[in-house]
Chain A
Amino acid sequence: NAGVTQTPKFQVLKTGQSMTLQCAQDMNHEYMSWYRQDPGMGLRLIHYSVGAGITDQGEVPNGYNVSRSTTEDFPLRLLSAAPSQTSVYFCASSYIRTGGAYGYTFGSGTRLTVV
């Protein structure tokens, strides 16, 4: 009963490097999303997906790309890392019900530092 699995848990990047944060869920949830958590800012939505092949931008999408080729996986790509992307990243998934999604399941997070 894995739920939402994020890898890696910790990562240090140099400015300009690229990397992919992985997220996988085994609950057959239609909805998946990426948030970043910064002190005093709460969680802010980066990108989200309502199903395989469908993605859309959230509140803070710049510098990040996503794709959703399967229901289970929703990777987040940083094409050219910047110090402003130092943050804790959370992946979350949910069923979509009439009236919206609620009761998300969150992964345990990836702490990213860009130097």
Chain B
Amino acid sequence: GNSVTQMEGPVTLSEEAFLTINCTYTATGYPSLFWYVQYPGEGLQLLLKATKADDKGSNKGFEATYRKETTSFHLEKGSVQVSDSAVYFCALSSNFGNEKLTFGTGTRLTIIP
């Protein structure tokens, strides 16, 4: 079945540091890949997505590239801000008519001023 493995947290960085959160997946066929963000006390929001190999999703300075050869979708940001403190979830959706999202366990990110 489908599964998502993401970097264990928590991750603590100083403001303006470079961020990488690793995500790898197992799926049949060609899944769509997503990063969701959850701010304290809120629901999940879609951060970015990629629907085919070599696609790069980007939003709010965050980027992730769909790497089929390494089955990875790592999240990166060049200079983090205190407002980026949140929990980040990697997820996938199969493209064989399966609407279900499979999530990783989440990575809590804290940015220190």
Chain A: residues with CB nearer than 8 A to chain B?
4, 31, 33, 35, 40-45, 48, 50, 58, 90, 92, 94, 96, 99-104, 106-109
Contacts and interface: CB of A to CB of B under 8 A. Distances in A.
B43 A101 contact: no
A42 B98 CA distance: 20
A31 B106 contact: no
Contact of B44 (A33, A45, A106): A106
A35 B43 CA distance: 11
Given A100-B97, A102-B93, 9 more contacts: A42-B104, A42-B105, A43-B89, A58-B100, A99-B51, A100-B32, A103-B49, A107-B43, A108-B43
B105 A106 contact: no
Interface of B: 4, 32, 34, 36, 41-46, 49, 51, 89, 93-101, 103-106
Contacts of A50: 99
A4 to B, nearest CB: 8
A45 B100 contact: yes
Nearest to B32: A102
A102 B49 contact: yes
